[in-house]
């Protein structure tokens, strides 16, 4: 990152790569349960609500000095007693997602290279440990801007998989015997719930949004809003295009990972699986980044609360002259030693869990239902409702509208959480 900050293109790459992940490959399955019409509108709804959450993060970031926007600092302004609770949810959610990427590598790679088969290459543990060659060095980079080149490689892998799905549809080389029926509407209302979380959480990029804002060269609301609209619109278009073409190719016979539905050949089985692995390898440090920030925040909170020293937390002075009396946000330092210790600990624990745990799908689903909704909807909505218009006793009409929409976003987040927990536990 230069002294001036990350460029718009670098910020866009980081945001798009954070948003687009493994959920893209499950979009055809979502269309199979929702039908083409309902699936299309749910994607638009998910994109709009997630996009508004990202916009609120950009909006409320101006209530703390430039470069210091975090969930913790905003919580210290709005709901200080809950700051450590939300950071715990964020840490578990992002760390669990990072571990799931390692598990996916271990599940996909054995047998992928065809003729190159040995006892080692057929082992899940071998491939998980081999991923450390790339994941570990990338995880020790402090800034998201430093990951822009690997994010570009990840986006190229995503582009290949998208072209693979779209290309098979237009070429029409999949036998009709492998294609199930195609429906415009869901067969039942309850069937929507089974893949509801796939679509809603597909747009989750909020865990890295504050870091993107902090590192951005142009932190104006208009520039950040343009960035968000472009990223969300582009992601939604890709989700719809891949989801529709994959669903129209296989109909109701489509599987949870559409790439694995294609016949075994070099383009689909080998390069397709390798593309998935590249995508998740380059997504791993993007998930570890917010997890590390939240763990540091939790460590800082514990240290401040239970330390016997009389040292006070350093405070930031707001640059804006607000008429309201909001608490002053707290700087959470991250020294080089703490950075290395937390990163090393997360990597060791993450790899041990990925290698030893057979399945923690239920735990990850529950954590995702709570953590993702908190990050994407509930917290941004609460921040907006509390802070927008707080400069004066009489908010403008625009500010009042944004406040009410912020509250509606938090309510939407609670609804999403209830639905996803019900599906996960049923």
Q: Which CATH number characterizes residue 375's domain?
A: 1.20.1740.10
Specify the pLDDT at position 343: 96
| pTM for this predicted structure | 0.88
Model confidence at 187, in pLDDT bands (50, 70, 90)?
A: confident
Q: Is the model's pLDDT at 324 over the cut of 90?
A: no
Number of Cβ within 10 Å of residue 414's Cβ equals 13
Min mean pLDDT across 99-103, 124-128, 388-392 is at 388-392
- Which residue range is the domain that position 407 belongs to? 8-425
Q: Kindly state whether residue 3 falls inside one of the protein's structural domains.
A: no
Q: Is the model's pLDDT at 4 over the cut of 80?
A: no
Q: Is the model's pLDDT at 312 over the cut of 50?
A: no
Specify the pLDDT at position 325: 54
Task: Identify the burial level of 218 via C-beta atoms within 10 angstroms of its C-beta, where 0-12 means exposed, 13-18 middle and 19 or more buried.
Answer: middle
Specify the pLDDT at position 117: 57
Query: What mean pLDDT value characterizes the chain?
Result: 85
Q: Is the model's pLDDT at 341 over the cut of 90?
A: yes
Q: Kindly state whether residue 68 falls inside one of the protein's structural domains.
A: yes
- The more confident residue out of 322 and 38 is 38
Q: Residues 348-398: pLDDT tens digits?
A: 999 999 998 776 566 667 777 788 888 999 999 999 999 998 877 788 899
Model confidence at 258, in pLDDT bands (50, 70, 90)?
A: confident
- The more confident residue out of 412 and 123 is 412
Total domains in the fold of the chain:
1
Specify the pLDDT at position 123: 81
Percentage of the chain surpassing pLDDT 90?
Answer: 44
Specify the pLDDT at position 322: 42
Q: Kindly state whether residue 210 falls inside one of the protein's structural domains.
A: yes
Model confidence at 319, in pLDDT bands (50, 70, 90)?
A: very low
Q: Kindly state whether residue 1 falls inside one of the protein's structural domains.
A: no
Specify the pLDDT at position 221: 93
Q: Kindly state whether residue 401 falls inside one of the protein's structural domains.
A: yes
The mean pLDDT value for 319-345 works out to 74
Number of Cβ within 10 Å of residue 31's Cβ equals 33
Q: Kindly state whether residue 391 falls inside one of the protein's structural domains.
A: yes
Specify the pLDDT at position 293: 93
Of 59, 8, 24, 368, nearest in space to 203 by CA? 24
Distance between CA 54 and CA 324 in Å, rounded?
A: 25
Q: Kindly state whether residue 358 falls inside one of the protein's structural domains.
A: yes
Q: Kindly state whether residue 264 falls inside one of the protein's structural domains.
A: yes
- The more confident residue out of 40 and 424 is 40
Specify the pLDDT at position 315: 46
Specify the pLDDT at position 301: 87
Q: Is the model's pLDDT at 122 over the cut of 60?
A: yes
Specify the pLDDT at position 292: 95
The mean pLDDT value for 222-243 works out to 95
Q: Residues 59-95: pLDDT tens digits?
A: 999 888 778 888 988 988 888 888 888 888 889 889 9
Distance between CA 54 and CA 225 in Å, rounded?
A: 9
Q: Is the model's pLDDT at 209 over the cut of 80?
A: yes
């Amino acid at each position: 990152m230069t002294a001036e900050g990350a460029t718009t293109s670098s910020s866009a790459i980081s945001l798009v790569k954070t948003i687009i992940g493994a959920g893209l490959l499950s979009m055809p399955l979502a269309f199979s349960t929702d039908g083409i019409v309902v699936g299309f509108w749910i994607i638009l709804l998910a994109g709009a609500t997630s996009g508004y959450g990202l916009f609120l993060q950009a909006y409320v970031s101006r209530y703390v000095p430039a470069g210091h926007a975090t969930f913790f600092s905003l919580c210290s302004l709005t709901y200080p007693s809950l700051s450590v609770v939300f950071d715990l949810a964020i840490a578990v959610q992002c760390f669990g997602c990072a571990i799931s990427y390692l598990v996916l590598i271990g599940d996909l790679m054995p047998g992928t290279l065809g003729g190159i088969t040995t006892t080692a290459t057929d082992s899940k543990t071998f491939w998980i440990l081999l991923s450390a060659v790339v994941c570990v060095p990338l995880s020790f980079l402090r800034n998201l801007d430093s990951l822009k080149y690997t994010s570009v490689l990840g986006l190229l892998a995503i582009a290949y998989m998208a072209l693979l799905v779209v290309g098979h549809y237009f070429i029409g080389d999949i036998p009709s015997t492998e294609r199930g029926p195609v429906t415009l509407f869901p067969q039942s209302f309850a069937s929507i719930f089974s893949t509801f979380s796939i679509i809603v959480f597909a747009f989750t990029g909020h865990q890295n949004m504050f870091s993107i804002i902090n590192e951005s060269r142009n932190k104006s609301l208009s520039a950040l809003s343009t960035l968000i609209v472009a990223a969300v619109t582009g992601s939604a278009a890709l989700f719809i295009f891949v989801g529709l073409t994959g669903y129209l190719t296989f109909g109701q016979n489509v599987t949870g990972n559409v790439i694995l539905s294609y016949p075994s050949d070099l383009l689909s089985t080998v390069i397709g699986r390798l593309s998935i692995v590249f995508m998740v390898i380059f997504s791993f440090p993007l998930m570890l980044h917010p997890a590390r920030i939240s763990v540091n925040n939790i460590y800082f909170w514990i240290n401040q609360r239970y330390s016997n020293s009389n040292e006070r937390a350093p405070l930031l002075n707001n640059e804006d002259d607000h008429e309201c009396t909001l608490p002053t946000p707290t700087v959470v330092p991250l020294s080089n030693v703490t950075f290395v210790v937390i990163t090393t600990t997360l990597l060791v624990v993450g790899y041990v869990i990925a290698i030893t745990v057979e399945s923690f799908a239920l735990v990850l689903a529950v954590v995702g239902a709570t953590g993702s909704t908190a990050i994407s909807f509930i917290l941004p909505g609460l921040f907006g409702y509390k802070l927008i218009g707080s400069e004066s006793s009489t908010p403008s009409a625009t500010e009042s509208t944004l406040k009410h929409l912020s509250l509606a976003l938090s309510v939407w987040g609670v609804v999403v959480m209830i639905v996803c927990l019900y599906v996960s536990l049923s």
